[in-house]
Structure formats: structure tokens, C-alpha cells
Structure 1
Amino acid sequence: MKKKIGLILMLTALSAFLAGCADFQKPITADSSGFWNEFIVWPLVSLITTFKDLLGTYGFGIIAVTIIIRLVLLPLMVKQAKSSKNMQAIQPELAALKEKYKSKDAVTQQKYREEMQRLMSERKINPAAGCLPVLIQMPILIGFYHAINRMNVTPEINLGSFLWFELGVPSISLAILAGLMQFAVLRTGPAMDNPQMKVMMYIMPFMIIGFGSFLPAALALYWVIGNFISIIQNIFIYKPFKKKEVEPVKVGGKRK
């Protein structure tokens, strides 16, 4: 089940990315054709430009739209977090079932799947429930990424400067900040309770720093603000700094 879900997410992300890949380095205008341009990229560009006119700079425009998008997606993020926490809570029982039905013959494995489905049904857990929020978020977040990059190659748009850096050129310092904040996002999220996700905690920050080192600083700014909001969300949703209670170990039927 996990492999199928992972494959679906990978294909969705790849499809969304490739949808705009052909135009990635092309200017974006109101006349740009195609579903991706007309319904995702250009509306995001227009929204950023509107807030730029209201707030004075494209930097503030990007920050404002990033916050709005994250707030709109917040209910989905909470739903995804609850699903993740519920799945994490039954991991010991799933592990026990896997050990009980460790034989690889077809009959045993069928019994294992039935018991696993029964457990999830009793706990009202749908393993696919955590995937829907990701599927909905993916086109929006990738579209925002495309919007900023294509604004940078549109002659009519000058991203200008924000604080001490130019938004249209790479900023190593901002890229490093984005990478450090990505580490904090993973450190405060469910990765700490999942050995497989821990690998991401050490790889993703370096990927962000690497991409941010040669992509426009406007994208690094988007990552910094988005990661800052994610850290706040994680603190409230996952409560990473709350001391976890240690379950008493049963020894001979008694709690020790």
C-alpha cells in the first residue's frame, strides 16, 4: 500500500512539474496559452503583482502570497498531520502483525492483509487519507515555483531588490538560510519518529541550498517564508518540544 501511494505521489509531482517544464524559461503574460499557464501560473503571477502594487516591492508581494497560500492549505495540512499521527500510533501493532504473519506464503500474507485492514477499520484510519492533501497541494506549490522563475525572465517585470539582495539573481546567504529552515521543518515534523523520513532530514536541506545557489533569490525567499510557516504549523500540530511519555513495559503480565 505504501509503495503504491508513494508511486502515485511521485507520478503526480512529475506530471505537475513536466506540465510547465516546456515553458519554464519562457516569459509569462496574460496571453500565455495552455491550462497550466492560464489557470495556475498566470493567476499566481497576477496575485503577486497585485500585492506588489499594494505593498511596494515584489519581495513583500511574494511573502504575502506565500502566507495566503499556506493559510488556504492549512486545513489540508492539519488533515495530513492527523493521518500521519494516527498511522504512527498503530505502528507497534502493525509491527506485531507483521511478525505474527511473517511467513511469505500466500495464505499467511492474505491473513496478514485482512488483519491489517481490520485494525485500520477499527481505528478509523484510511492510509490514503494523508495523500489527498499532498495531491491537492502539489500543483499549487509547483505552480508558485514556476510563477516566480518565469516572472524573472519576463522583460516587463523587474523583481528588483528586497532588503540586502536582488530578487532576480542568486543569493547564497538566503539559500543557506532556506536550507537551515528546511532542516528545522523536518526536525519539528514527523520525520523524527520515522527512521525512513530521517534520511530526508539530512538530504533536503542540502538540495535546497544547492538549488538556491543558482536560482533567483525570489525562490529562496519563497522557501524561507514557506518553511517559517511550516515550522510554526509543526510546533502546534506535532508539539515536537513536548516531552513524550514513556510507555511502561510489561514484564510477566505486570507493568514495570
Structure 2
Amino acid sequence: MKKVSRKWVKPIIVLLIGVIPVILLSGCSTASPSNPIHSDSPGFFNHYFIYPFSYLIEFFANTFHGDYGLSIVLMTLIIRFAILPLMLNQTKKQMAMKEKLAVFQPELDALKEKYKNDVSAEARKQQQIETMQLYQKHRFNPLNIGCLPMLLQWPITLAFYYAILRTPEIAAHDFLWFSLGDKDLIMPFIAVAVYYVQFRVSQSVSAQVQYNPNKQMAFIGLLTPIMMGAFSLAMPAAVPLYWAVGGIFIIVQTILFNRMYAKPKPKPIQTTTIK
């Protein structure tokens, strides 16, 4: 069996982390509005994750005189601020990794040039060996992309999603121009637009410190907003509202983190083509 190219390993990991939650959100029957959450709902996840979020949604809605839309917006911001330290640590590690990669990227390019006309299995194997030697030389781990914060926020984001769908009071209220419990044709496109902008901002930040941007990552980065838009069209408008607010927060977060930690693009190591 043909091995997966190393250049696709990182994009595949990101794809799994970013897309699988969206698939789970769209297909989990426990999030059905016909199965409302309450304090006696059985199950660990129901009792300790979903119900507390549902309770807080109702609490803030009552504080805002029955405005469940505003409550969802506030809860989304609270959740994002709660996981902000994790994302901050992840950004610091990723920026350091990208800056290190930018320094020796010309050496990798020279290595690719050396083997570009040799498609034999032996040449591919030797190229991989020399690539790993470069990684070891510069103490660079290409798989160190900081996935832990993404994994840790899964239970939180999933629980809040379920809480939105399983809190029946939400469906009976309106927010702005739409009913929170009905499908809306505008909110899904807003959510898609927000996450596309988020993707573009992320790509722009990466380009500032990365000598040779990963085209596979760019392609995969477009899949999440597309899938999110497709799923949003079949969901109550409260869900794309949640996603849109969260996406806007991430855009601002990315810009601020970049200003905090970005350094001038390092000068690449000058190297000649390996012959």
C-alpha cells in the first residue's frame, strides 16, 4: 500500500480536527429539539455539560427580559474567553514553529530540486531520509501543530450546541429578523462568510512567518466553512448565530495574537542547489 505523503499528514490531521465536530453536530440524534434537556436527564454528558449550559442560557435570557438570542451571543463570548488561555498558548507554539520553518525552508526547497527529476522509489526514500535529517538538524517537528487546545474545547462546544437545540424555550423566541427555532436563509450565509474571513485572516497571518505556505492546508481550510454552511441550512437559526459570533471572536483573537507574538520574517538561510 502506498504511504501517505508527509506533506499531507498535517493537513489531514487538521481536517479531522476541524471537520469531524461539524459532522457530529449535524448528525447526533441526542441534540434533537424533541428531546429537551432538564436537570434529571440521564447520562454524564447530559448532566454535567449540556444541562449547565442550558441553565445558563435561560438564566441570562431572563436577565435580558426573555432575549434568548442575546443570551446565546453572551454565552458564546463567555465560552470563547474561557478557552482563550489555551488558544494563546497554542498560538505562541505555532508562531515559534513557523518562524523556525521559515529559516531553513530554502534548504528543503533545494532538497526538492535535487530529486525533482528522479521519481524512483529509492530516490523518494532517500529524499525522506534527508528531509528528516534536516528536521533533526533544526530541531523541528512538523507534526507539532498544537492540536491539544482544539481537542479540549470539543466537549465544551459540543455541549453548548446540544444545549441550544435541547432548550425548548429558545425555539419560541425571535432575535433580530429571524426566529431562533426556525431555519433561516440568511444566517447560514453569514456564518459561511464569517468563517471564510477567519480562514483568510489565518492564511494571511501564516504567510507573514512562513516562507513557503502549504497549499494543501489552504485547500482544506476552505472545506470547513462550506460544510458549515450546508449544515446550517438544515438547522434552527440559533445554531448559525452561535457559529457566526464564535467566528467573529476568533477573527479578532487571531489578529490580536498576531500583533502580540509576530516577529519580523526571519531571513532565510542562503543555500545553493544540492547537486
Q: Which protein, 1 or 2, shows the higher relative CO under an 8 Å CA cutoff with sep ≥ 6? A: 2
What amino acid does structure 2 have at the position aligned with 1:149? L
1:216 lines up with 2:236 in the alignment: yes
Amino acid at match of 1:136: L
Whether contact under 8 Å (1:83, 1:127) holds in the other structure is no
Residue 46 of structure 1: CA displacement? 1.1
The alignment status of 1:10 with 2:21, answered yes or no, reads no
CA distance in 2, matches of 1:164, 1:184: 23
**Residue 201 of structure 1, CA deviation:** 4.4
| Percent sequence identity over aligned pairs | 31
Tell me by how many angstroms 1:11 deviates: 7.7
In structure 2, relative to structure 1, the CA distance for the partners of 1:176 and 1:11 (3 Å cut) is closer
Helix, strand or coil at the partner of 2:31: coil
Alignment match of 2:193 (pick from 173, 180, 195): 180
Distance 2:39 2:179 in 1: 25
Query: What are the Cα deviations for residues 208-235 of structure 1, in whole angstroms up to 9, with x where unaligned?
Result: 3222222111011101111111111111
SS of corresponding position for 2:51: helix
Query: TM-score scaled to structure 2, two decimals?
Result: 0.72
In structure 2, the partner of 1:134 is 150
The Cα of 1:200 is off from its aligned counterpart by: 3.7
Structure 2 letter corresponding to 1:119: H
Q: In the TM superposition, what is the alpha-carbon distance from 1:27 to its structure 2 partner?
A: 1.8
- Gap regions ≥5 residues in structure 2: 1-5, 116-122, 208-213
The whole-number CA distance in structure 2 between the counterparts of 1:116 and 1:149 is: 47
Alpha carbons 1:170, 1:213 under 8 Å: kept: yes
TM-score, L = length of structure 1: 0.77
Task: Provide the aligned length of Structure 1 versus Structure 2.
Answer: 242
Q: How does 1:98-109 map to 2 (within 5 A)?
A: 99=111, 103-105=123-125, 109=128
Distance verdict in 2 for CA 1:79–1:213, change over 3 Å: same
CA separation of 1:167 and 1:46: change in aligned 2, threshold 3 A: same
Q: Is 1:21–2:7 an aligned residue pair?
A: no
Q: What residue in structure 1 maps to residue 78 of structure 2?
A: 68
Indicate the RMSD between aligned Cα atoms, in angstroms: 3.7
Mapping of residues 1-150 of structure 1, within 5 Å? 3=9, 7=13, 10=16, 17=24, 21-25=28-32, 26-56=35-65, 57-92=67-102, 93=104, 96-97=107-108, 99=111, 103-105=123-125, 109=128, 112-113=131-132, 115-120=134-139, 127-128=143-144, 130-150=146-166
Q: CA 1:8 to 1:139, structure 2 compared with 1: closer, same or farther past 3 Å?
A: farther
CA distance in 1, matches of 2:49, 2:57: 13
